[in-house]
Structure 1
């Protein structure tokens, strides 16, 4: 189940957090932008795109999808291409195999495992055979920062999702710092990079 991520209040909370504290003074998103770009993901389907923070750093013609209509509207206001799930299903350039990769960042922790598997199953056919899949979830300190998180998804949880989806796991890593840092630093992430069968 998902909890509270579909409301306009949730979008407003994300917008406030984008420019709060040290984020107003330092380029805190730079390491995360670098991490996405170095993966060479091509045209990305960003599932659960939120305000488009990651979508901004994806390849040309990348597309976001989110169940929160207010967040989708915010992405569009920022010049990004984003759809609700129903709109994506009707988009002419978003059919089966039309994306090089799928990104699912800070999404799976907002739902139970069954729904997480269903979401991946729904969107993976839109990625071409042999395409990449990147799954990202917060570590312990970050997990505690959002009341809409319904479960903690670590490396084992990400691998379970990848296995259920039939992905080949190419690598998992802690970013931007080593794994122990995630217990105190709220922006440390679990990252899984997988591949769809060719």
Structure 2
């Protein structure tokens, strides 16, 4: 599986988890959608305590998540499906008709309070927006590093169907400093793994790059990320 390709960066860093440090978890039962969540980060910041059910699933961390609207320009200016949208900081600057998905109902509520369109994963499936080819682009930022191999593949398969043929895809994961700061990451997901996941999903990889600074800054700067720009086949 793509995620079991050992990253040379991770292998040489004792503080970065190796790719197979955890057992495989199921990608979700019938009638459910893959998801990412901000729930754990909210609890750690002193938010409302989580129920046992809210503690399950994948977590996506960190307050002060950067806004990636400028990066989205690399894949067009149309409607975006933002997977793991959090409280909607990037979604707020996307084109009208864009939609966010997050596992945490509180994040979805905050998005809606801002006038944004957002759903939990399963609610999205029942929404009028869950139609093939509805969106022009897909954003998935600070999510994949929290997923096992099968979950990454399931998530991309589940949501890429809603992006039109020829539409753009932007995948973003943290570099070393950001990875260490995140809540419960599964593995260090670098350019090698991003490319493997994208190609496994059938995407054409157009570009990979380090943002906002060159790659070396990732060891110190939490906001430095790996970015992959892909395209859905026409």
Length-normalised TM-score, structure 2 = 0.73
The 1-side partners of 2:191 and 2:62 are apart by: 29
Contact map agreement 1:172 1:192 (CA 8 A) in 2: yes
Give the corresponding residue for 1:21. Answer: none
For the aligned residue pairs, the C-alpha RMSD in angstroms reads 2.3
1:173-195 C-alpha deviation (Å, 9 max, x unpaired)? 00000001111111001000000
Q: 1:16 to 1:7 in 2, by over 3 A?
A: closer
d(CA) in 2 for partners of 1:112, 1:15: 16
Q: Which residue of 1 aligns with 2:160?
A: 124
1:75 CA displacement: 1.1
CA 1:149 to 1:15, structure 2 compared with 1: closer, same or farther past 3 Å?
closer
Query: Contact 1:159–1:169 at 8 Å: present in 2 too?
Result: yes
Is this contact kept in 2: 1:94–1:126, CA < 8 A?
yes
Paired residues of 1:110 and 1:149 also in contact (CA < 8 A)? yes
The answer on 1:10 being equivalent to 2:41 is yes
Note if 1:105 corresponds to 2:151.
no
Cα deviation, residue 34, structure 1 = 2.5
Q: Does 1:85 find its partner at 2:121? A: yes
Q: Which structure: greater helix fraction?
A: 1
- Map 1:4-153 onto structure 2 (within 5 A): 6=37, 8-11=39-42, 13=45, 17-18=63-64, 29=66, 32-37=68-73, 39-153=75-189
* CA-CA distance at 1:85 after TM superposition: 1.4
TM-score computed with the length of structure 1 as normaliser: 0.85
- Cα separation, partners in 2 of 1:29 and 1:109, compared to 1, 3 Å: closer
Residues 154/103 of structure 1: CA separation in 2 closer, same or farther (3 Å cut): same
1:24 corresponds in structure 2 to none
- Determine which structure has greater relative contact order: mean sequence separation of CA pairs < 8 Å that are 6+ residues apart, divided by chain length: 2
Contact 1:37 1:57 in 2 (8 A): no
Structure 1's 114 and 42: CA in aligned 2 closer, same or farther, altered over 3 A? same
| Structure 2 counterpart SS, 1:93 | coil
Change (3 A) 1:112 1:9: closer
Pairs aligned (count): 186
Structure 1 portions without partners, runs of 5+? 19-27
